[in-house]
A and B are shown apart, each in its own frame.
Chain A
Amino acid sequence: MKRTIFNNQLLPWLLLAPQLAITFIFFIWPAGQAIRQSFLREDAFGINSSFVGLRNFHGLLDSAQYLNSMKVTVIFAVSVTVVSMGVALLLAVAVDRMLRSSRVYTTLLVWPYAVAPAVAGILWWFIFNPTVGIMPYILDVIGYDWNHNRSKTDAMILVVIASAWKQISYNFLFFVAGLQAIPASLREAAAIDGAGPVRRFFDITFPLLSPTTFFLLVVNIVYAMFETFAVIDSTTGGGPAQATNIMVYKVYFDGFIGQNLGSSAAQSVILMMIVIALTVIQFRYVEKRVEY
């Protein structure tokens, strides 16, 4: 085989330059700024600023609210991922079987993905609003007093439903594609050998879906941790009593609303480290169990 060799030393850098510039301007530079600011104590206007070392980090790890926010993030991210992937898989398996009408179902099921997070948030906020919503009214009939302004559990359920609902469509699309890629002959052979539908699903379909599942796992955790900001903001605003204040929302609230820039920057640095750690764990340990 003949290999083409480019002798130009400059050309590869030139071709890479746009991507490198974007990475630098939108990632490395702001990240560097955040790290710098996390060591400073500064007033809102930036008139006085002093170097305080690790004080911002100490303050955070000492604060019950921050530890609470970490706990809330874990519960929230796991719940959103499990609910959105579980429901999506269920729907995908159901649609995969129906060959004729699946296109209509697919279109209908993909719709929610087109809805902006803030709009989705408002929608669910409205449905579950204790004063004017329809759900509390229905729940009242069966004897459950829904009030996400007072009950922490209710509030968590609300933000999980609102966030997961949007992501179901996305997961559904990937699961359907994954299911379609599994050769029918494998399942047919298993059926001839006498395996029932449940056995066929767990022994053949699910293992063959594992690359899709792994990909979605990464995407969903990232989604739950970082992109649900608008949902939280428009439904509960992190309340009641910090019960739904996930880490990303806390960064925004303390920095943007509270003007406590040092603490907010320290929080984003911690968040950045968590993301790096998560990525390493996922790709070193979880990915090994995935069969492509």
Chain B
Amino acid sequence: MFRLCTASAVALAASLTAAHAKTDIQWWHAMGGELGSKLEEIVQGFNESQDEYNVIPSYKGTYPETMTAAIAAFRAEEQPAIVQVFEVGTGTMMAAEGAIVPVHQLMEEQGANFDPSAFLPAVVGYYTDTDDNMLSMPFNSSTPILYYNKDVFEKAGLDPETPPKTWGEMEEFSNKIIESGAASCGFTTGWVSWIQVENFSAWHNQPIGTEQNGFGGPQARLSVNGPAQVKHWENLNRWADEGIFEYGGPVGGDDAPPKFYSQECAMIMNSSASRAGVIANATDFELGYGMLPYYDDVEGAPQNSIIGGATLWVLSGRPDEEYAGAAKFFEYLSSPEVQADWHQFSGYLPITQAAYDLGKEQGYYEENPGSEVGLQQITLNEPTENSKGLRFGNYVQIRGIIDEEFEQMLGGDKDAQGALDSLVERGNTLLEEFEAQSQ
């Protein structure tokens, strides 16, 4: 009898402690290094701000690794409540009805403070459905900008305060730079797929696919072989042959930044979020920032650039109280203070107008030249159907195809038209596959 009493007392005590314990919420992310430490600092701020929930961030590797880990965990019914997914995974996540809880639905159900119009349209446009409902929570969004070497510009007899505005000027400036011997190459680029195809198309108000770049549904197909894109790839190919442009490799273009840091190339197009890295490495020369160049004979250019980076998705199948906590956490994450802090630390864009305004108030943009270029670029015009973003299934593989076709062209196996036609054809096979899968 005594033993039974003790046992029940222990059980009672245990259940009491459990009732007082905080609810743990798992958040899987792909932010390593300094960004990861900053992220943990932000999470700690939330955990200390209240005593009901405890968000636990776990670093899961690269973006594809994090996404795959979450999918595998979901299949094994061990999924985290929140997972960070890069923008090209959006199509896959969105099609996974039943596996995700759309953010607008989460915030509504939990009665959280949530105003979709407070967010920057160019940021959320990417992550809303056709009825303008937000599906995932923006967290780290970036956009490509132009970085240039002011010292080289000066040596070449160019005005160091004026970056090239058009692709014509890119060519002209590059030729001057090479002829004067100030640098051996005009420009290079990271992310051929993201910058020279997706952003190029948005910036020139050209579609890259049907059905509003895939927002309309999984029946969308690629149409990125239009005249503007063909002309641009033709030019890039010619510039590569002439030595004006140097290719930095597939995916992110790992070899591109060293070419810029070593002053071999005078200009580089890369993510606004690489700003801290560029500043840390460009110690021997003065840096300049500019918007992406455009072709002045293309109607509607420049329109606005589109974003990259990642958002936070909520996965279904967790206990209810975790969703209440996730909603609270998102409220905290999108507050102007947290956002402005994260944006200024990382070079990612602020996701809300309030965070942007707070930065202005603090005088951040005046003190840090170049930190505003990306923002000005994505907010240059109201996004159109072509410049809202893109949403295709199997897009991780399609990006691989873009790199391959670009390399085929540089290798001389295909011309620009042939490479883009083949890109569309191969990409569409994957899209057909995806459409069939999601039915």
Task: Report A's interface with B, CB cutoff 8 A.
Answer: 41-48, 59, 65, 129-132, 149-152, 237, 239-242, 253-254, 256-260
Contact = CB atoms under 8 A, between A and B. Distances in A.
A258 B397 contact: yes
Interface of B: 64, 68, 71, 74-75, 92, 95-99, 247-251, 255, 258-259, 262, 264, 394, 396-397, 400, 403-405, 407-408, 410-411, 413, 426, 430, 433, 436-439
B80 to A, nearest CB: 14
A149 B254 CA distance: 10
A43 B97 CA distance: 11
Nearest to A42: B437
Contact of B262 (A48, A131, A150): A131
Pick from A47, A152, A237, A259 the residue with the most CB of B within 10 Å. Answer: A259
A37 to B, nearest CB: 12
Given A149-B255, A240-B407, 19 more contacts: A41-B437, A42-B437, A43-B95, A45-B96, A46-B74, A47-B96, A48-B439, A59-B433, A129-B255, A149-B248, A239-B403, A239-B407, A240-B250, A240-B410, A256-B68, A257-B397, A258-B400, A259-B92, A260-B394
Contacts of B75: 45-46
Nearest to B438: A43
A108 B74 CA distance: 48
Nearest to A52: B436
Contact of A258 (B99, B394, B410): B394
Nearest to B426: A65
Contacts of A65: 426
Contacts of B98: 45, 47
Contacts of A44: 71, 92, 96
A149 B404 contact: no
B394 A241 contact: no
Contacts of B404: 239-242
Interface of B is mostly: helix
Shortest beta-carbon contacts, A-B, top 4: A258-B397, A240-B407, A241-B407, A45-B99
Interface of A is mostly: loop
B397 A237 contact: no
A252 to B, nearest CB: 11
Contacts, number: 90
A253 B400 contact: yes
A43 B96 contact: yes
A253 B400 CA distance: 10
Contacts of B71: 44-45, 259
A55 to B, nearest CB: 9
Given A258-B396, A259-B396, A237 B96 contact: no
A18 to B, nearest CB: 26
Nearest to B264: A131
B251 A237 contact: yes
Contact of A132 (B258, B407, B430): B258
Contacts of A41: 433, 436-437
B260 to A, nearest CB: 10
A131 B259 contact: yes
Contacts of B259: 131
B63 to A, nearest CB: 10
Given A43-B437, A46-B75, A150 B96 contact: no
15 contacts: A44-B71, A45-B71, A45-B98, A47-B96, A131-B262, A149-B250, A149-B407, A239-B403, A239-B407, A240-B250, A241-B404, A254-B397, A257-B397, A258-B397, A259-B71
Contacts of B436: 41
B183 to A, nearest CB: 14
Contacts of A45: 71, 74-75, 96, 98-99
B322 to A, nearest CB: 19
Contacts of B405: 241
Contact of B408 (A59, A132, A241): A241
A242 B397 CA distance: 13
A151 B396 contact: no
A240 B255 contact: no
B420 to A, nearest CB: 14
